[in-house]
Copies of this chain bind each other. A is one copy, B any other.
Amino acid sequence: MKTMEWRDKGLDLLDQTGLPQAVRYIRCTSAEDVADAIRTMKVRGAPAIGAAAAYGLVLGTISLECGEQAEFIRETEKTANMLGSTRPTAVNLFWALERMVKAARMAGVEKPAEIKELLLKEANNIFREDLEMNKKIGMYGNKLVPNKAGILTHCNAGALATAGYGTALGVIRAAHEQGKEIHVYADETRPLLQGARLTAWELMQDSIPVTLITDNMAGYVMKKGLINLAVVGADRITANGDVANKIGTYTVAVLCKEHGIPFYVAAPGSTIDMGLESGEDIIIEERNPEEVTGIAGHLTAPEGVRVLNPAFDVTPNSLVTAIITDRGIIRPPYKDNLKKHYNKEGNNGLYNKGYKACTVRETKNRLGKGTHAGSE
């Protein structure tokens, strides 16, 4: 099962809104096709969105007939801005688009045909690098998984959220590949049910034993002694080791503390934002109330009820046992140990400042420093 595949001047995208009932691919042959797929969440998960947007930019420039470089770049930026307007929070989207536009600008060639080639190469690199980072996360994380472990996970930080293999599910995949007899408990993850729809499905595809539970059963399964560790993805990790991730992650971490269960966060280094001191600096996106008042279009709550719908919560570093990155396992004190692996030139608040790709011409190359996230 592939989340996306570049094939014959088009992008095949697995339509995640149809999962798990329908496994269907949509064919994108224009930047608009890709923008629509991101907007309607046919593709979701920050790294997956980033890679899709990069290919979207390739599609947007593929048919440009303009003869000179300056004009070509202007058109490329225009398309990038259009793609960047599809989702407000996924930093990886802006990061990937910026990286693409930068590649075009720095091409050092005059012929658009050559720049087009460079753009496809860059999109392929973004895709391939994400996959490689996930494999490394899996390799390191596997060391933390005992044989016969019961593993709790939340949301979908899997192959479906990335170029492949996944972050939290990458750790689980690696342990399974090593022959460990693990059993995964997947929180269904309300409101959008990524755990039920995507994680359970993805693990079943790979024959990894999984049991689906509602979010409020996590405490029950821990108290029953069924869980040996929890592993989740991240949307952003600040310099002190605080972790922003899908709503409900914080509750899982508190439950782990109560039961003496290790709580791990799996994320590529690019998720670590050394420019933000702590999780308190992160603005939490509030999403559409209809996600809470209904399920799959079916209204389940009284009309007009007041609703809270934060998309993320912040887990304080004190609850995080270790962060599993593509550069190794990082343990507390995070402030010191994150610094050893990641320099100061992190995201620098990209996420909070409503940053848009290609609108700032003079930014430094952020290659590898955007937010890769393991969930929405």
Q: Using a CB–CB distance below 8 Å, which chain A residues touch chain B?
A: 20-21, 154, 185, 187-191, 193, 196-197, 200-201, 204, 209-221, 223, 247-248, 250-251, 254-255, 257-258, 292-293, 295-296, 298-308, 310, 313
- CB-CB nearest 6 A-B residue pairs: A216-B248, A219-B251, A20-B302, A190-B214, A215-B216, A196-B301
Given contact pairs A190-B216, A201-B305, A220-B251, a sample of 5 additional A-B residue pairs in the complex whose CB atoms are under 8 Å apart: A188-B300, A204-B305, A211-B306, A214-B248, A220-B310
Q: Are B219 and A250 in contact (CB under 8 A)?
A: yes
Q: A214-B215, A258-B257 are in contact. Are A220 and B190 (CB under 8 A)?
A: no
A280 to B353 alpha-carbon distance, docked (Å): 51
Q: Are B308 and A210 in contact (CB under 8 A)?
A: no
Q: Are B214 and A292 in contact (CB under 8 A)?
A: yes
Q: Are A189 and B216 in contact (CB under 8 A)?
A: yes
Q: Which residues on B sit within 8 Å (CB–CB) of A20?
A: 301-303
Q: A220-B310, A296-B300 are in contact. Are A214 and B191 (CB under 8 A)?
A: yes
A187 to B292 alpha-carbon distance, docked (Å): 11
Contact of A307 among B191, B213, B304 (CB under 8 A): B213
Contact of A295 among B187, B204, B296, B304 (CB under 8 A): B296
Residue of A200, A220, A221, A293 contacting most chain B CB atoms (<10 Å): A220
Q: Are B191 and A305 in contact (CB under 8 A)?
A: no
Q: A200-B305, A258-B254 are in contact. Are A190 and B212 (CB under 8 A)?
A: no
Q: Are B190 and A215 in contact (CB under 8 A)?
A: yes
Looking at the assembled complex, report how far the CB atom of A123 sits from the nearest CB atom of chain B, in whole angstroms: 31
Q: A215-B214, A307-B211 are in contact. Are A299 and B21 (CB under 8 A)?
A: yes
Q: Which residues on B sit within 8 Å (CB–CB) of A219?
A: 248, 250-251, 254, 313
Q: Which residues on B sit within 8 Å (CB–CB) of A306?
A: 209-212
A278 to B168 alpha-carbon distance, docked (Å): 37
* 13 cross-chain CB contacts under 8 A: A20-B302, A185-B308, A200-B302, A204-B305, A215-B248, A216-B247, A217-B310, A219-B250, A219-B251, A220-B251, A220-B313, A251-B251, A296-B300
Q: A305-B210, A307-B212 are in contact. Are A250 and B223 (CB under 8 A)?
A: yes
Q: Which residues on B sit within 8 Å (CB–CB) of A303?
A: 20-21
Q: Which residues on B sit within 8 Å (CB–CB) of A305?
A: 196, 200-201, 204, 210-212
Contact of A302 among B201, B223, B304 (CB under 8 A): B201
Q: Which residues on B sit within 8 Å (CB–CB) of A301?
A: 20, 188, 193, 196-197, 200-201, 212
Q: Which residues on B sit within 8 Å (CB–CB) of A204?
A: 302, 304-305
A300 to B296 alpha-carbon distance, docked (Å): 8
Q: Which residues on B sit within 8 Å (CB–CB) of A200?
A: 301-302, 305
A220 to B314 alpha-carbon distance, docked (Å): 8
Q: Which residues on B sit within 8 Å (CB–CB) of A251?
A: 216, 218-220, 251, 255
Looking at the assembled complex, report how far the CB atom of A153 sits from the nearest CB atom of chain B, in whole angstroms: 13
Looking at the assembled complex, report how far the CB atom of A246 sits from the nearest CB atom of chain B, in whole angstroms: 9
Looking at the assembled complex, report how far the CB atom of A44 sits from the nearest CB atom of chain B, in whole angstroms: 16
Looking at the assembled complex, report how far the CB atom of A127 sits from the nearest CB atom of chain B, in whole angstroms: 26
Contact of A213 among B220, B258, B292, B302 (CB under 8 A): B292
Looking at the assembled complex, report how far the CB atom of A325 sits from the nearest CB atom of chain B, in whole angstroms: 25
Q: Are A300 and B308 in contact (CB under 8 A)?
A: no
